[in-house]
C-alpha cells in the first residue's frame, strides 16, 4: 500500500488500485494548474507501474469538480493563450493515452473538464445528485478534451449540440440515458461502487484488460489526438479574444457578462 499526500490531490495505491482524489472541497474541487500536473504525474506513472492495474478518479459526495480555478487559470496563462505543453494538456494527453482501466466516481457538480474528462474513462458511476455541464461557449471558448468529437458520437449530434452550445446542466439520469455513465447510485455510495468495480478489474488478467481496451479504442486514438490539437489551438486563441475577456472579467466581478459587442 502506498499513499502520497498533496493538499489538493490525494494519490493512494492499494491492492492494484490507484485512487486519485480531488481534495479541494472548500473550493468545489476547482482545478489549479498544480493539480493538473499532479494528476498527470499520477496517471503517467500508473501507466508503467506494475503495482497499478486500475485507476479510479473521484471527488467528494457533494462535488466532483467545478472545472478550472478561474483565478489560477488567468494568473497562469497571463492572457497569452494556452500552450500545448501546459499542465491541463499534459493531463488530457495522460487521460487519452492511459492504457489500463480507468474508472470515475462522480457526485455533485461536474463542470467543464469535470465532465469532458469522463469521455476518456472506461467506466463512470454517478451519484443521483450529479450535474454535468460544459459551459465553454458561455465563457467565450470552445470545447476541449476532444469532446467536440466524442460527445456527438456518444450522445448523438442534437443532444451534444444542446449540451455544448447552451452549456446548461443535465442530471445523472439524463447522463445515464445518453450513455455517459454506467450506473446511478446515492451520492454517499458512488465512491464505494467505483472501488468495488475497480477491485473486480484488478483481479482479472491485466494483459487481457489492456488488450481489450486497446482494441476498443484503436480506431479513434489518432482522431482524438488530432481533435485535441485543433481544439487546443482554437481554445488558446479564443482566450485572448474579447468574448473570453468579458466572460472572465464578469465572473471575477460576479456579474452577468455582456456579449453584445463580441
Residues 199-252 pLDDT 10s? 999 999 999 999 999 999 998 989 999 999 999 999 989 988 999 999 999 988
Q: Which range has the worst mean pLDDT, 79-83, 109-113, 135-139? A: 79-83
Q: Taking CA 127 as the corner, what is the angle to CA 103 and CA 11, rounded to the nearest 5 degrees?
A: 40
In a domain, 179, yes or no: yes
Using only C-alpha atoms, the chain has a radius of gyration, in whole angstroms, of: 18
In a domain, 49, yes or no: yes
Residues 116-158 pLDDT 10s? 999 999 999 999 999 999 999 999 999 999 999 999 999 999 9
3-state secondary structure of 101: coil
In a domain, 227, yes or no: no
- 82 closest CA partner among 43, 138, 33: 33
- pLDDT above 60 for 105: yes
In a domain, 30, yes or no: yes
pLDDT of the residue at 207: 98
CB burial of residue 14 (10 Å; 0-12, 13-18, 19+): middle
In a domain, 133, yes or no: yes
Residues 142-198 pLDDT 10s? 999 999 999 999 999 999 999 999 999 999 999 999 999 999 999 999 999 999 999
- pLDDT above 60 for 54: yes
CATH code of 14's domain: 3.90.226.10
By residue range, what is the domain housing residue 17? Answer: 2-187+206-214
- pLDDT above 70 for 30: yes
In a domain, 200, yes or no: no
Q: How far is residue 72 from each of residues 26, 82, 154, 168, measured CA to CA in Å?
A: 15, 13, 32, 24
| Model confidence band, residue 73 (pLDDT cutoffs 50, 70, 90) | confident
Length of the chain: 262
CB 169 within 8 A of CB 132: yes
In a domain, 55, yes or no: yes
In a domain, 119, yes or no: yes
Task: Spell out the residues 6+ positions from residue 202 whose beta carbon is closer than 8 angstroms to its own.
Answer: 15, 16, 17, 53, 54
Q: How many CA within 13 A on the CB side of residue 94?
A: 21
Backbone angles phi, psi at 181, to 5 degrees: -125, 155
| Model confidence band, residue 80 (pLDDT cutoffs 50, 70, 90) | low
Q: How many domains does the chain have?
A: 1
Amino acid at each position: 500500500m502506498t499513499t502520497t499526500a498533496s493538499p489538493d490531490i490525494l494519490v493512494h495505491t492499494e491492492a492494484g488500485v490507484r485512487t486519485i482524489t480531488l481534495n479541494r472541497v472548500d473550493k468545489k474541487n476547482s482545478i489549479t494548474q498544480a493539480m493538473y500536473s499532479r494528476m498527470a504525474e499520477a496517471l503517467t506513472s500508473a501507466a508503467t507501474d506494475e503495482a497499478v492495474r486500475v485507476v479510479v478518479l473521484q471527488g467528494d459526495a457533494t462535488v466532483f469538480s467545478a472545472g478550472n480555478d478561474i483565478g489560477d487559470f488567468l494568473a497562469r496563462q497571463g492572457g497569452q493563450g494556452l500552450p500545448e505543453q501546459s499542465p491541463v494538456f499534459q493531463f488530457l494527453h495522460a487521460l487519452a493515452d492511459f492504457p489500463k482501466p480507468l474508472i470515475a466516481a462522480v457526485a455533485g457538480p461536474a463542470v467543464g473538464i469535470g465532465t469532458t474528462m469522463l469521455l476518456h474513462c472506461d467506466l463512470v458511476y454517478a451519484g443521483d445528485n450529479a450535474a454535468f455541464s460544459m459551459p465553454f461557449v458561455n465563457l467565450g471558448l470552445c470545447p476541449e478534451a476532444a469532446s467536440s468529437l466524442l460527445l456527438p458520437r456518444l450522445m448523438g449530434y442534437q443532444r451534444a449540440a444542446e449540451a455544448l452550445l447552451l452549456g446548461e446542466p443535465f442530471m445523472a439520469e439524463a447522463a445515464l440515458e445518453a450513455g455517459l455513465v454506467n450506473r446511478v447510485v446515492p451520492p454517499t455510495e458512488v465512491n464505494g461502487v467505483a472501488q468495488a468495480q475497480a477491485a473486480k478489474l484488478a483481479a482479472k488478467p491485466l494483459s487481457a484488460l489492456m488488450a481489450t481496451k486497446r482494441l476498443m479504442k484503436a480506431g479513434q486514438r489518432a482522431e482524438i489526438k488530432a481533435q485535441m490539437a485543433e481544439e487546443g489551438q482554437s481554445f488558446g486563441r479564443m482566450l485572448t479574444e474579447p468574448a473570453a475577456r468579458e466572460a472572465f472579467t464578469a465572473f471575477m466581478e460576479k456579474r452577468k457578462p455582456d456579449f453584445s459587442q463580441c
